[in-house]
Amino acid sequence: MPTDDELASALSRALDGAAGLTPEAAHGQLAAGARRAGLRRRRRRRAAVAGALAVLVLGAAGGFASGGHLPFASPAPAAPGPARMSEQRFDELLTQLLPPGKLEPMGRAWTGGRSPHEMGSMLTFDDGAGASMIQITVQYTADPVDRVGCMDAFQVPSDGCDRTVLPDGSVLVVDKLRSQSVADLREWRGVWAAPDGRQVHLTEYNGQPSVPSRPAPPMTEEQLTAAVASPLWAEAFAALTPVAGTPDATVSADAHPSPTSTETANALLDKLAALLPTGTATADRDAAHTRLAVTTDGRRSSLTVVFTPPSQRGLDDLAGLPQRPPTPLEVREPVAGGGTVVVNAFGNGKTATDNLLHWTVTVYYPDGAQLLLNEWNGEQFYDTKTGVPALDLAALKAIALSPAWRA
């Protein structure tokens, strides 16, 4: 099975390829999240290795000292880090920013002390109109502030989102999301992010994550905005350590990453349309997500295409493919001239074989390039439906293996 790092890395690379097709694409936000998760895991492992090495070094030093042959000068005392904030004090700050009501921590949800760079908690807030869950995180990050934005309504159901760049370069986001699986459940997310790496994330629900208890979350948009942008959080940031490699505070929050691929979204969609089987009708071209709606014999589906240029990561993916066990319906075949084509179908999860929702073909080229075709029944990516797709896997495979993609 792939490790968490492999999954995060694969997600990051796939979405980076899509993000490169247009500077505005929200795939970049998801790629950043995948990179963030991988970086956090790597930092934890490095810290563990560093701790183990420190024990070995200290043990060796003790041995030298006992023999009277200590070769090291006495180390200077380490500079004290910032004083940690208690959970009680953190909750007191949060209470000052909430409407009148009762705030209660949820179990062992407090994360203060686990990382020098962040603290947060999950709590229940009851203003008398229905208890609701709140998640709050105050953190330092090395992510550029331009990566902070709205969730993509193509990926997640949304009732709207506002993103504002403030005069000091910080960014405010209020995102009003709907649950894909729980009717009437609302998730409102507020984010404040500064160019120097400081971020406050506050998510409120209209009940528990699976059980709505009220029409809307307890805080209004204005209250949510004020809560995440409050200067009171300066006390929490003073108890945290900035992340090494904190982004340049002078970088504009309106700056967008430059495209990482010479292929444009429309060029990819043009190639896709030209390779469709005879009799396939097209409609609803969406360049922001390289999506094309297709219809065959009355069956309507959506297709997305992602092309990732040659890279060392792509070469590593190809070389490591034999070591990764296939999912139940996955079929791998060598490609003439080198490389591998992977054909797959799955439902709600890569191992689900009932109620198929996704049909995919991935080509791993021998030079490290990759092509991914994905088909599903539905308009938005989150709105997948069961049923026979417009194109079967044989047709998708024929499209993916066309030499036109490398022309």
Model confidence over 112-167: pLDDT tens digits? 778 899 999 999 999 999 999 999 999 999 988 888 888 876 677 778 889 999 99
CATH number of the domain that 104 lies in? 3.40.1000
Query: Containing domain of residue 13, as a range?
Result: 4-66
Instruction: Give the count of domains, the chain.
Output: 3
Same domain, 121 and 23: no
Same domain, 54 and 96: no
Packing angle between helix 4-19 and helix 312-320, nearest 10 degrees?
140
Determine the Cα–Cα distance for residues 156 and 179; give it in Å rounded to an integer. 8
Same domain, 97 and 50: no
**In this structure, is residue 335 part of a structural domain?**
yes
**In this structure, is residue 339 part of a structural domain?**
yes
Residues recorded for the chain: 407
Same domain, 233 and 272: no
What is the pLDDT tens value at each position of the chain, 407 positions in all? 333 343 334 333 333 333 333 333 333 333 434 444 443 444 344 334 334 333 332 333 333 233 333 333 344 454 556 788 899 999 999 999 999 999 998 877 788 778 899 999 999 999 999 999 999 999 999 988 888 888 876 677 778 889 999 999 999 999 998 887 788 889 999 999 999 999 999 999 999 878 899 999 999 999 999 999 999 999 999 999 999 876 654 444 443 333 334 348 889 999 999 999 999 999 888 777 788 888 888 888 889 899 999 999 999 999 999 999 999 999 999 999 999 999 999 887 788 888 888 899 999 999 999 999 999 887 666 677 788 898 999 999 999 999 999 98
DSSP assignment letter at 235: H
Same domain, 233 and 280: no
**In this structure, is residue 82 part of a structural domain?**
no
Strands in 118-126's sheet, in edge-to-edge order, are 102-105, 118-126, 132-140, 198-205, 186-193, 171-178, 158-165
Determine the Cα–Cα distance for residues 231 and 235; give it in Å rounded to an integer. 8
Determine the Cα–Cα distance for residues 381 and 357; give it in Å rounded to an integer. 10
Same domain, 104 and 221: yes
Written as one letter, the residue type at 211 is V
Same domain, 100 and 38: no
**In this structure, is residue 311 part of a structural domain?**
yes
Q: Of 193, 220, 238, at which residue does a domain stop? A: 238
**In this structure, is residue 308 part of a structural domain?**
yes
Q: What is the pLDDT of residues 18-31, one digit of tens each?
A: 333 333 333 333 34
Contact (Cβ atoms closer than 8 angstroms) between residue 257 and residue 16: no
Nearest alpha-carbon partner for 311 in 1, 8, 14: 14
Contact (Cβ atoms closer than 8 angstroms) between residue 364 and residue 332: no
Q: How many CA atoms lie within 13 A of 286 on its CB side?
A: 19
Nearest alpha-carbon partner for 190 in 202, 180, 206: 202
Same domain, 94 and 195: yes
Burial of 4 (0-12, 13-18, 19+ CB in 10 A): exposed
Residue 159 CA to its chain's centroid (Å): 20
Contact (Cβ atoms closer than 8 angstroms) between residue 142 and residue 185: no
Q: Of 20, 35, 66, at which residue does a domain stop? A: 66
Same domain, 135 and 12: no
Same domain, 20 and 141: no
**In this structure, is residue 249 part of a structural domain?**
no
Neighbours of 58 (CB within 10 A): 11
- List the beta bridge partners of residue 112: 115
pLDDT at res. 122: 92
**In this structure, is residue 91 part of a structural domain?**
yes
Same domain, 114 and 159: yes
**In this structure, is residue 22 part of a structural domain?**
yes
Same domain, 56 and 91: no
pTM score above 0.75: no
Alpha-carbon dihedral sign for residues 293, 296, 297, 301: negative
Q: Of 238, 273, 290, at which residue does a domain stop? A: 238
